[in-house]
Structure 1
């Protein structure tokens, strides 16, 4: 099975840029992760929230930054996120803010999954632990000592 037949873990992260102005912080690092084969961007959507609460999905090129060209992410908007996903993110956005939702595939683990697959191992489950879930478990472990 090649990497084209198998996916690594799929994750997402949603961020908010207060004041309606995205910044370049993070986007150069994101490109470096893609260029180095660490992740694959499956979707990157930018969402604006108007003062009246209306949500709009807009192209990355909508935002002009002095030190970074966000237009290079226009092609990353695949539409994988649906209206319900956008509404969920929009609930968290402050009026006048811009949000970005990144859906990405972790590629670093693919070689491990492929090796297991070649030896007959089957992946039984995959999942995601939120930072809150991890913190709760660590707190409980600390309290047990």
Structure 2
């Protein structure tokens, strides 16, 4: 790896994924670990938050909680980017009776591209994200339109 690549970082994103508290299946954590082990992402922070039906909010300790047991591998993933205000904002977005994972991660797959762009004088001047549901809906509509045309 060149020096420029080792100094470059990929974009850092966050996601808040909400789950019904009574329907946790344990499927998410192994897929997240797959992404980390493949070098696609690097986890900076992982906070699991519970919001009761009455609206009480609690950050769940990953090491000790049966609710977060599938994420115990990520216990200690705390860069300091998330704080109590972030937890409160996440909780405000949550539905009562749910558990959510607030995840901050680097898209490490992009680091070589970032390094190449920087060494060529490139500068990021805009960025955005299209939600997966919007993409899936657009592709479904395109597929339906294609199926309807002779």
TM-score in same-fold range (> 0.5): yes
Instruction: String of CA shifts for 1:59-85, please: whole Å, max 9, x gaps.
Output: 1224337xx653211111334223332
Please tell me whether the aligned partners of residues 48 and 99 of structure 1 are also in contact (alpha carbons under 8 angstroms): yes
Is the counterpart of residue 83 in structure 1 residue 84 in structure 2? yes
**5+ residue gaps, structure 1:** none
Kindly report the root-mean-square deviation, in angstroms, between the aligned alpha carbons of the 2 structures. 2.9
Length-normalised TM-score, structure 2: 0.73
Q: Output the CA distance in 2 between the equivalents of 1:72 and 1:2.
A: 31
Aligned ranges 1:35-46 → 2 under 5 Å: 35-46=37-48
- Say which structure is richer in helix: 2
The number of aligned residues is 139
Q: Output the CA distance in 2 between the equivalents of 1:91 and 1:107.
A: 30
**5+ residue gaps, structure 2:** 143-150
Instruction: Provide runs of 4+ in structure 1 moved above 4 Å.
Output: 131-136
Please tell me whether the aligned partners of residues 64 and 70 of structure 1 are also in contact (alpha carbons under 8 angstroms): no
Length-normalised TM-score, structure 1: 0.75
Aligned ranges 1:42-121 → 2 under 5 Å: 42-64=44-66, 69-121=70-122
Determine helix, strand or coil for the equivalent of 1:103: strand
